[in-house]
Amino acid sequence: MAENELDPARSTQQFRAFTEQNRPEPPAPSGPPMGIIAAVAAVAAVVAIAIVALMVLMG
C-alpha cells in the first residue's frame, strides 16, 4: 500500500473513537423507581381491604 493512500477502516475506527469519546453521559434517573411506588400502592390497597373486611365482619 502506498503511503499517500487513505485506509478507510482506520478512518472509521478513529471516527468511532472520537464520537464515543464525546458522547454525553445519560442523565441519572430522578425520584424513586416505579416498581417501588407500585409495591407501596399494592401494600396500601391490601391493608385497606383488610381493614374494610374486618369492619364488615365486626359490625
Q: Does 50 or 32 have the greater pLDDT score? A: 50
**pLDDT score for 2:** 54
- What is the rounded CA–CA span in Å between residue 55 and residue 49? 10
Q: Nearest to residue 32, comparing CAs of 24, 44, 41? A: 41
- What is the rounded CA–CA span in Å between residue 19 and residue 27? 18
Phi, psi of 52 (to 5 degrees): -65, -40
**pLDDT score for 46:** 98
Q: Does 15 or 39 have the greater pLDDT score? A: 39
